[in-house]
Chains A and B, each alone.
Chain A
Amino acid sequence: MTRVPVRGTLLILLLVLATLAAGCAPRGGVANAGWTVVTATEDAVYSVLATGTIVAVDAVSGQELWRYPIAVERPGGIGAIFSRPDPDVPVPLQATYGEPVVAEGLLLAASLDGKVHALDRTTGEQAWDYEVEGGIVGGLTVEDGIAYFGTNENTVYALDIATQTLVWTQPFRTEGWVWSAPAVDAERVYIGTMGQRVYALDRDTGEEVWSFQASGALPGAPALTDGAVVIGSVDQHVYALDAATGDLRWAQPVGHWVMGQPLVLDEHVYVASLDGRVHALSVADGAPRWDAVSVERTVRAGPEALDGALVVANQAGELWRVDAATGERARLFPDVGEPGTGLGQEWTMLSSPSVTDGLVVSGTTSGIILALETEAGLAVERWIYNPS
């Protein structure tokens, strides 16, 4: 009888340790820690799923056109600790947070292992890979055949897509990680960093033109408008800087963190904050156009433009339309049920929707892609793509 507690204790300890091991399985062992990102074109929708698989789906029918890699078999959890991948088998991308880009007949996507992946956009065959030091978190911005991107090793690169060579003699070094895609105009590259600094770089040389110190990290991409650079911060402010000099035009508090890219529409900036509110601010002075509107649940990504309105995806897996002029809101998907519940779907939406020709496409963390037609005013489900 006296031995039972010791045996019981041993058994409980081993069971709990096993649970602990399973619950705390290392990040390196899980399949992928990214979220599903989408880019819609007239004929196809391209997506890097949260599992690291890239898919192309017919924009009209929702039929899968191709996927890369074709077969995916990655162990997860504690079993992954002991697994050794076969180097000859194409593997899914590491975590991807930035939307894929279509350019020069290629589909380009960047991943957390520091790779820029280029696939033939019509066949899905791998064209090339380019690897840099550090992880690429923010995705790519492509202008005139050059892909600009930053890394979490505090560097910014300019890569010539045609030749796969670096344009600048050396990458630009920043203070802090770069987690967002840059904004690019005719002369400069603008980029925010987690080191709380915004940089303007010369597009040709990669040299610093100016920098601005914010009071919080800047995880989202900047937006350009009317000679201003607008960017959101985790210090609960939206900043507008003079694009020529980097001087602060205004900083407007929004009550919570901003992690997504602001959207500029007709002299106004629209941003979404983590507390699930959408804000409309004047480009000129940051004054609110209307009182912030709630979409019920956390919004990680920035809004997208939709026929004079905004479309916003929230963490409950819902899509909302917010009138840009009045702030009036309406839920696009799902069209029934309590707001903020998402009807209990087993997914969330953490990336921006993609809008093209009245079609709103959004990717969910479970890999399901929704395509809604919005031309007639009410949203109509065109198709739902399920990778499984």
Chain B
Amino acid sequence: MENTNRPRVSPQQVRKSLLTWGIGAAVLVIVFTVGFDNIWREGVIRPMLNTLLFLYANLGHSFVVAIAVFTILLRLLTLPLSIKQVRSQRKVNAVQPQMQALQKKYAGNKEKLVQEQQRLYAEAGASPLTGCLPTLIQFPIWIGLYQSITSVLADTPIELLNLGQNIYTGVASLAEIIPLQSRFLWLNLALPDPSPFVLPVLVGGTMYLQQKLSMQSNASADPQQASMSNTMNLMMPLMFGYFTTQFASGLALYFVVFNIIGIALQWGIERYEGPATVSHVGEPALQTSPATNKDRVSYGTKRQRRKKKKR
């Protein structure tokens, strides 16, 4: 007789788990074999540092222009992720009313609630964690860029030594541009802004504006989540404004250009796709296909929709 309490595990899930664990193990083996320092140096620092040098050498020997172009290139590289982040956030917010209705309906059954929530997210083609992925990817870029900027602008022999070890020696012409011109207006790009408020205000201001735009379009129906977002919207610019007083001003310029591109991106998506559709709490619950404009908000992948249709 079949045991109905026995948990059913689909082969697809098993394959997915095995693949995840396999990739994790492979990454660990590589890190331990090659060494994290070597991976960081060859995978992040050297490419960044030499790209900055190349841009500096070919863009009028202006480090500000080199940083700006570098930021644009990075933004272009991460553009698919950024767009995915914005869209995912919009989808997550669009299903908030249904989510709240689920919470009310299954208040006494946590397991069922989780299942239904996962199903709702899957059908909407949204993942709450997708939103933070591009942000997390930015952290190693920031740290790598900070190290690259201080090394490229080498204003002490230790940094010059570091630069000498990381420069691609095959590109002989790069050695001729060293040391780089680190002065820009009142700034030494390897050191914090001496003013010391212009760059912090610019960094904090542009970041605030970007987040504000993001919040306007993705206003959460959940008051607690909205409150959390408001706090973040204020805290992050303040923290980054403070950090800017401590970091190389070259890195601060990166943040400013990064934020400005982010604002433009947000504005572009808003203009192209229109504001996100957010139903109000109190609307009929469990409306799993609530799209009022299916051309604008996609709920589920084509494959998911096909499966659903078949059912």
Which positions in A face B, CB cutoff 8 Å? Answer: 1-3, 5-7, 9-10, 12-13, 16-17, 19-21, 23-27, 29, 33-35, 81, 95, 97, 112, 137, 152, 176-177, 179, 194, 215-217, 219, 234-236, 255-257, 259, 274-275, 298, 300, 350
Listed residue (B157, B224, B246) with the most chain A CB atoms within 10 angstroms of its CB:
B157
Q: Is the CB of A10 within 8 A of B228?
A: yes
Tell me, yes or no, whether B14 is within 8 Å of chain A by CB: no
Complex interface: stretch among B27-35, B138-146, B200-208: B138-146
Q: Does B24 reach chain A (CB closer than 8 Å)?
A: no
Partner of A97, one of B128, B157, B175: B157
- B18 interfacial by beta-carbon distance below 8 Å: no
CB of B164 closer than 8 Å to a CB of A: yes
Report yes or no: A256 in contact with B135, Cβ–Cβ below 8 A. no
Q: Is the CB of B99 within 8 A of A2?
A: yes
CB-CB under 8 A from B178, the residues of chain A are 216-217, 234
Q: Answer yes or no: B129 CB below 8 A from chain A CBs.
A: yes
Instruction: Across the interface, name the chain B residue whose C-beta is closest to A2.
Output: B99
Q: Is the CB of B128 within 8 A of A112?
A: no
Most chain A C-beta atoms within 10 Å of own C-beta, residue among B117, B128, B191 = B128
Q: Is the CB of A300 within 8 A of B161?
A: yes
Residues of B within 8 A of A29 (CB): 246
Report B210-237 CB contacts with A as 1/0, cut-off 8 Å.
0000000000001011001100100010
Q: How far is the CB of B182 from chain A (nearest CB, A)?
A: 11
The interface residues of chain B lying within 8 Å CB-to-CB of A19 are 139
Contact B161 A137 (CB under 8 A): no
Is residue B113 within 8 Å, beta carbon to beta carbon, of the partner chain?
yes
- A365 and B232 CA atoms in complex are apart in Å by 42
Interface pair B160/A20, CB less than 8 Å apart: no
- Identify the interface centre among A176, A177, A194, A257: most chain B CB within 10 Å of its CB: A257
B158 & A152 in contact (Cβ 8 Å cutoff): no
Is the CB–CB distance between A33 and B158 below 8 Å?
yes
User: What chain A residues lie within 8 Å of B135 (beta carbons)?
Assistant: 9, 13
Instruction: Indicate if the CB atoms of A21 and B243 lie closer than 8 Å.
Output: yes
Does B136 contact A216, Cβ atoms closer than 8 Å? no
Residue contact A2 to B156, C-beta cutoff 8 Å: no
Is B155 on the interface with A (CB-CB < 8 A)?
A: yes
Closest 4 CB pairs of A and B: A5-B128, A257-B164, A9-B132, A26-B246
Q: Classify chain B's interface size.
A: 35 or more
> Are A234 and B175 closer than 8 Å at their CB atoms?
yes
Q: Are A9 and B164 in contact (CB under 8 A)?
A: no
Taking a contact as CB atoms under 8 Å apart, the answer to whether A24 and B165 are in contact is: no
Tell me if A35 and B158 are in contact (CB < 8 A). yes
A20 and B161 within 8 A (CB): no
Are A1 and B225 within 8 A (Cβ)?
Answer: no
List 29 A-B pairs, Cβ < 8 Å. Answer: A1-B113, A2-B222, A3-B225, A3-B228, A5-B131, A6-B128, A6-B225, A10-B232, A12-B132, A12-B136, A13-B236, A19-B139, A20-B142, A20-B143, A24-B246, A26-B246, A177-B155, A216-B178, A217-B179, A234-B164, A234-B178, A235-B172, A235-B175, A236-B175, A255-B169, A257-B164, A257-B175, A274-B164, A298-B165
- A194, B179: Cβ atoms closer than 8 Å: yes
Across-interface contacts of B113 in A (CB, < 8 A): 1
Query: Is B179 touching A256 in the complex (CB atoms < 8 A)?
Result: no
Please, how many angstroms separate the alpha-carbon atoms of A335 and B271 in the complex? 70
**Would you give the shortest CB distance from B239 to chain A, in whole angstroms?**
6
B 98-140 binary contact with A (CB < 8 Å = 1; else 0) = 0100010000000001100100000000001101100110010
B2 at the interface (CB under 8 A from A): no
Measured CB to CB, the nearest residue on chain B to A138 is B157
Residues of A within 8 A of B131 (CB): 5, 9
Which single member of B129, B150, B243 contacts A27 (CB below 8 Å)?
A: B150
For residue B192, CB closer than 8 A to chain A, the reply is yes
Q: Does B54 contact A (CB under 8 A)?
A: no
